[in-house]
A and B are shown apart, each in its own frame.
Chain A
Amino acid sequence: MGARDWLLTDTPGSPTQAQFGRAYQGWLQLADNRLAMLGLFIVVVLLFVAAFAPWLATHSPTAQVLSDRLQPPSAAHWLGTDELGRDIYSRIVHGSRLTLYIVGLVVIIVGPVGLAVGTIAGYLGGWVDVVLMRITDVFLAFPRLILALAFVAALGPGIENAIIAIAITAWPPYARMARAETLTIRKADYIAAARIQGAGPVRIIGRHVVPMCLSSVIVRLTLDMAGIILTAAGLGFLGLGAQPPLPEWGAMISTGRQYLLNQWWVATMPGLAIFIVSLGFNLLGDGLRDVLDPRQAR
């Protein structure tokens, strides 16, 4: 019996086999979606580029060669050079690390915070629920970019502050979602069983509730990553995110803006990178949603 048969059997012999089988079926369904595969490919390429940036780059991302400034794309500089003679291709390659850094940190903050607030509110109910959800609603009622702008204005520009500002504005939908999921399972028999066995709220939420909410939170995070990348790039473009000489894509567009009419490549190339990467995340997230959340699917 091959691995494929073992995965696709109708009568799994153990819970582990059933789990692997379900994951494999999900993967087959995802693999069937050509656009989602394209998205996955883009994301994998991004990870690869970020991991091997020093080897993939042809120049140093910060080395200034003023005699070579504003060169059009050529064999020596594949995507041209910017106003300080830095190689744009190498800067974009290194910038992928910054993008992943921002997205990664925002996700690491937002996922657990949203999960914690949502599951606690949903499981405990009562006044805890009311207070936590009111706070969530307040943040949800804010326009996200404007709130992030105001926060960065208060904290001062910089990549860490941009991450904090984006995270503060991004967690509420996750709390909402986790709460909704928790409400549907809090009365389930297996929760009651755990409680009768003497499990406290912390254990029940941590071991039995959170795992049930994970898949929808992950899908939503994947879908949101494009939005996070765009917000970070927007802040960078306004000069409020990563500061020069960091090769952040949004900030690169901002400096290239002055040279738009005569040296179009300075501003357009980093924008293309942002576009391709966030399209990748959107395509992947869209496909993932079809697989993991059949209610939303066609």
Chain B
Amino acid sequence: MLGHANALVKLAATLALTFFGLLLVTFLIGRVVPIDPVLAAVGDRASAAVYERARIEMGLDLPLWQQFLIYVQKVLTGDFGQSVLTAQPVLSDIARVFPATLELATVATFLGVLFGVPMGVIAAVHQGRWPDQVIRLLGLIGYSVPIFWLGLVALLVFYAKLQIVPGPGRLDIFYDDLVPWVTGVLLIDAALARNWIVWQNALSHLVLPSAILGYFSLAYISRMTRSLMLEQLRQEYILTARVKGLSETRVIWRHALGNTAVPLITVIALSYANLLEGSVLTEIIFAWPGLGFYITNSLLSADMNAVLGGTIVVGSVFIAINLLSDVLYRTLDPRAR
């Protein structure tokens, strides 16, 4: 028990250090920007006196380490500064756009697990034969295709030519603002409002981007499932189960797959974290108003507060998911304690 507590303390220390590093790096990035933050605030027609006063007000005359401390304090209280582009606090901007990314990544991960896990199992069972090769090739294609290009091609085929899915965005324009904002996740909000027309419309908009993003998580999940399964299928308990006369289906899908569950959860968590960032390019293609879309747009208009705020949020979520999967692993697998 003591060892367990010790491990948790260590984990917490690592976490704090990593977060500190995240802040340090974003702070330094913010310092090397060629844009003068004072000039951005006062405009280039301000007199030298006004400029100097603004510089002192913004704390830019202090030594770098003091500036950093102030920065850490601000970030810890949720103050990422104002976005130049939207004239809103960056934090409230992020709160507005984050649910869209969350919705996309969650549905995509769901699709990735739904298809990726069975594909990995089938590949492992037929190791070296054609189903394995086909699944391996499918996975490698997923690793190799530029996601923004695949998105464009999909839009061209399914939206422009075949017209079986709606275009970019989260909703058709005449459904905007029909359901009250509760969680920001449209599928949930529409369901809460019992507005099934909006729900259906939101779902139809989700199909293409989440399928494309889901393909990437499928590539990763199926590959990892395959290697985890191969490890299990070599074990002697599998032989025992077969000798006992259990059906092949039961041996594979219950006994072997059941024993991969714990590491598989880690794999799925990692792929979920990767999707949160992988959605950047997808969001651009599908004009999906999420975090990636927000960060890139801010970047193109040199809105550094928004870019760095977004980076910190994505980084923190990333760290949190990694931590969560680690804790989950320790709790579920007694051997890891």
Chain A residues with CB under 8 Å of chain B are 35, 134-135, 137-139, 141-147, 149-151, 153-156, 226-227, 230, 233-234, 237-240, 250, 253, 257, 260-261, 264, 267-268, 271, 274-275, 278-279, 281-283, 286, 296, 298
Could you say which residues of chain B place their CB within 8 Å of the CB of A149? 280, 295-296, 299, 307, 311
Knowing A153-B304, A253-B152, the reply to whether A261 touches B160 (Cβ < 8 A) is yes
Minimum CB–CB distance from B300 to chain A (whole Å) comes to 7
Within 8 Å by CB of B149, from A239, A275, A281, lies: A275
Could you say which residues of chain B place their CB within 8 Å of the CB of A154? 29-30, 32-34, 304
Convert B132-158 into 0s and 1s, putting 1 for each residue whose CB lies closer than 8 angstroms to a CB of A: 010011001101111111101101100
Does more than half of chain A's interface fall in helix, strand or loop, or is it mixed? helix
Instruction: Kindly state whether residue B276 has any CB partner on chain A within 8 Å.
Output: yes
Could you say which residues of chain A place their CB within 8 Å of the CB of B213? none
Bound state CA distance, A243 and B138, in angstroms? 33
Bound state CA distance, A250 and B127, in angstroms? 36
Could you say which residues of chain A place their CB within 8 Å of the CB of B150? 271
Bound state CA distance, A192 and B142, in angstroms? 46
Cβ–Cβ contact A146 & B310, under 8 A: yes
Cβ–Cβ contact B319 & A274, under 8 A: no
Cβ–Cβ contact B310 & A238, under 8 A: no
Cβ–Cβ contact B21 & A135, under 8 A: yes
Instruction: Kindly state whether residue B182 has any CB partner on chain A within 8 Å.
Output: no
Chain B residues with CB under 8 Å of chain A are 14, 17-18, 21-22, 25-26, 29-30, 32-34, 127-128, 133, 136-137, 140-141, 143-150, 152-153, 155-156, 160, 227, 230, 273-274, 276-278, 280-281, 284, 295-296, 299-300, 302, 304, 307-308, 310-311, 314-315, 318-319, 322
Could you list 17 A-B pairs, sorted by A, with CB under 8 Å? A35-B140, A137-B18, A138-B25, A139-B21, A141-B318, A143-B314, A145-B277, A149-B311, A150-B308, A230-B146, A237-B146, A237-B281, A261-B156, A274-B146, A275-B144, A275-B145, A296-B227
Knowing A271-B152, A298-B128, the reply to whether A142 touches B146 (Cβ < 8 A) is no
Known: A141-B322, A275-B146, A286-B140. 5 other contacts (CB 8 A): A154-B30, A234-B146, A238-B284, A267-B149, A281-B144
Could you say which residues of chain A place their CB within 8 Å of the CB of B299? 149, 153, 238, 240
Within 8 Å by CB of A274, from B133, B149, B278, B302, lies: B149
Could you say which residues of chain B place their CB within 8 Å of the CB of A286? 136, 140
Bound state CA distance, A154 and B303, in angstroms? 11
Does more than half of chain B's interface fall in helix, strand or loop, or is it mixed? helix
Of all chain A residues, which has the CB nearest B292?
A146
Bound state CA distance, A132 and B282, in angstroms? 35
Cβ–Cβ contact B17 & A138, under 8 A: yes
Could you say which residues of chain B place their CB within 8 Å of the CB of A144? 277
Could you say which residues of chain B place their CB within 8 Å of the CB of A156? 34
Bound state CA distance, A279 and B149, in angstroms? 14
Could you say which residues of chain A place their CB within 8 Å of the CB of B140? 35, 279, 282-283, 286
Bound state CA distance, A137 and B16, in angstroms? 12
Minimum CB–CB distance from B144 to chain A (whole Å) comes to 4
Could you say which residues of chain A place their CB within 8 Å of the CB of B296? 149, 238
Cβ–Cβ contact A260 & B29, under 8 A: no
Cβ–Cβ contact A250 & B295, under 8 A: no
Cβ–Cβ contact B318 & A250, under 8 A: no
The 10 closest A-B pairs by CB, nearest first: A138-B21, A271-B149, A143-B277, A279-B144, A278-B144, A154-B29, A153-B299, A141-B18, A154-B33, A150-B311
Bound state CA distance, A150 and B28, in angstroms? 11
Within 8 Å by CB of B280, from A145, A261, A267, A268, lies: A145
Cβ–Cβ contact B146 & A233, under 8 A: yes
Minimum CB–CB distance from A160 to chain B (whole Å) comes to 15
Cβ–Cβ contact A237 & B18, under 8 A: no
Bound state CA distance, A189 and B311, in angstroms? 47
Bound state CA distance, A153 and B297, in angstroms? 11
Knowing A149-B299, A151-B29, A226-B144, the reply to whether A141 touches B152 (Cβ < 8 A) is no
Within 8 Å by CB of A250, from B137, B146, B311, lies: B146
Minimum CB–CB distance from B195 to chain A (whole Å) comes to 31
Bound state CA distance, A197 and B295, in angstroms? 57
Minimum CB–CB distance from A244 to chain B (whole Å) comes to 15
Cβ–Cβ contact A150 & B318, under 8 A: no
Minimum CB–CB distance from B288 to chain A (whole Å) comes to 15
Cβ–Cβ contact A150 & B29, under 8 A: yes
Of all chain B residues, which has the CB nearest A271?
B149
Knowing A279-B141, A298-B128, A298-B230, the reply to whether A257 touches B318 (Cβ < 8 A) is no
Of all chain A residues, which has the CB nearest B20?
A138
Cβ–Cβ contact A35 & B137, under 8 A: yes
Cβ–Cβ contact A142 & B153, under 8 A: no
Bound state CA distance, A268 and B144, in angstroms? 15
Could you say which residues of chain B place their CB within 8 Å of the CB of A237? 146, 148, 281
Of all chain B residues, which has the CB nearest A143?
B277
Could you say which residues of chain A place their CB within 8 Å of the CB of B33? 153-154
Could you say which residues of chain A place their CB within 8 Å of the CB of B311? 146-147, 149-150
Cβ–Cβ contact B315 & A268, under 8 A: no
Of all chain B residues, which has the CB nearest A283?
B140
Bound state CA distance, A234 and B148, in angstroms? 8
Minimum CB–CB distance from B153 to chain A (whole Å) comes to 6
Cβ–Cβ contact A146 & B300, under 8 A: no
Could you say which residues of chain A place their CB within 8 Å of the CB of B14? 137
Minimum CB–CB distance from A98 to chain B (whole Å) comes to 15
Knowing A142-B22, A226-B143, the reply to whether A264 touches B156 (Cβ < 8 A) is yes
Within 8 Å by CB of B32, from A145, A155, A234, A260, lies: A155
Could you say which residues of chain A place their CB within 8 Å of the CB of B304? 153-154
Could you say which residues of chain A place their CB within 8 Å of the CB of B273? 143
Cβ–Cβ contact A143 & B146, under 8 A: no
Cβ–Cβ contact A134 & B295, under 8 A: no
